[in-house]
Amino acid sequence: MDYQNIIVTREENVAVVTFNRPKVLNALNHETMVELSAAMDELGADPNVHCIILTGAGEKAFVAGADINELRAIPDAATGAGFAAWGQAILFKMENLQKPVIAAINGYALGGGCELAMACDIRLAADTARLGQPEINLGIIPGYGGTQRLPRLVGKGRAKLLILSGDMIPAQEALRIGLVDMVVPAAELMDKARELARKIASKGPLAVAYAKNCVNVGAETDLVTACAYEASQFGLSCGTADRTEGTTAFLEKRPAQFKGK
């Protein structure tokens, strides 16, 4: 696909997807979401891509939310529900991709931007970033999963505090409450994200996918069912050539050469 609103680059086994509408702080309009969806299909199917980084163009914003021009034009409740369900489906696709997605939050991550980051596997934030769910200020509520993923990450009380007040919080506060996983100086954000992505990309991609699946599935089910699921995914990992290579390499005291088989 010929992307107009995002930039997709590949560096060895790592792909970087950059939201590229800096004049509107990388707000997510319809076309951008279509392109994000297509990029997930493309990168998900590319065996050379083992890990994906999402970030925003410019120094100011990761993504400042859904495009408010489009929100203003929604004619009725049914269209609004469809708008949200469609966006949610794209974030589910990304969340369930069989490769990790790292959010490198380089600035504002608001509304749909915060929701996008929360659907990623790991969140790194620049110390200058600010996060929040300000939809309430627009007379609407989060629609790309924010009312659900936020309490799962930070607890019900803190989620309600953010969603009902519409307040933004700085990166350090987001780290304290568990909304992001690491805060780094802004100038080092992409280096840190690449370093982490390369580390993950060097592991066996099948094992990485099985581990991601287990955490995702387990977070939404009871412990007994989740452990049964883990056992099945562990079993799949034991059936791979990468298991033979990883365990043999350890015993031979050499680095493993994983093949994703």
For the chain, the straight-line distance linking the first and the last C-alpha, in angstroms and rounded, comes to 28
Radius of gyration of the chain (CA): 19
- The order of strands in the sheet holding 108-110 is 61-63, 108-110, 130-132, 168-170
Closest CB 124 distance from ligand CAA, rounded Å: 20
Choosing from 53, 66, 104, 211, the residue that interacts with ligand CAA (CB under 6 A) is 66
Nearest CA among 121, 95, 105, 107 for reference residue 36: 95
Q: Is 11 tagged catalytic?
A: no
Choosing from 15, 33, 90, 110, the residue that interacts with ligand CAA (CB under 6 A) is 110
8 A C-beta contact, residue 52 and residue 14:
yes
Q: Check 135, 188, 245, 252 and give the catalytic one.
A: 135
Kindly state the number of chain residues that form the binding site for ligand CAA, as judged by CB under 6 A.
Answer: 23
* CA 64 to each of CA 19, 25, 127, 166, 217: distance values in angstroms, whole numbers, following the listed order: 11, 6, 17, 13, 29
Number of residues written out for the chain: 261
Helical ranges in 119-203 per DSSP H:
146-154, 156-165, 171-177, 189-201
8 A C-beta contact, residue 152 and residue 219:
yes
Q: Does 129 bind ligand CAA (CB under 6 A)?
A: no
Q: Check 35, 59, 95, 115 and give the catalytic one.
A: 115
Q: Is 220 tagged catalytic?
A: no
Using DSSP, state whether 216 is helix, strand or coil: helix
Q: Does 56 bind ligand CAA (CB under 6 A)?
A: no
The token pair that represents 11 in the structure block: 């560096």
Q: Does 134 bind ligand CAA (CB under 6 A)?
A: yes
Residues paired with 9 in a beta bridge = 16
Closer residue to ligand CAA in complex, CB, 146/204? 146
Of 134-142, 152-160, 199-207, 237-245, the window that binds ligand CAA (rule: CB under 6 A) is 134-142
Q: Does 144 bind ligand CAA (CB under 6 A)?
A: yes
Closest CB 242 distance from ligand CAA, rounded Å: 38
Closest CB 165 distance from ligand CAA, rounded Å: 13
Single-letter code of the amino acid located at 71? L
Using DSSP, state whether 79 is helix, strand or coil: helix
Of 19-27, 43-51, 177-185, 250-258, the window that binds ligand CAA (rule: CB under 6 A) is 19-27
Closer residue to ligand CAA in complex, CB, 135/242? 135
Of 22-30, 116-124, 157-165, 171-179, the window that binds ligand CAA (rule: CB under 6 A) is 22-30
- The tokens 């609407």 sit on which residue? 140
Catalytic residues: 115, 135
The contact set with ligand CAA (CB under 6 A) reads 24-25, 27, 64-69, 71, 87, 108, 110-112, 115, 134-135, 138, 142-144, 146
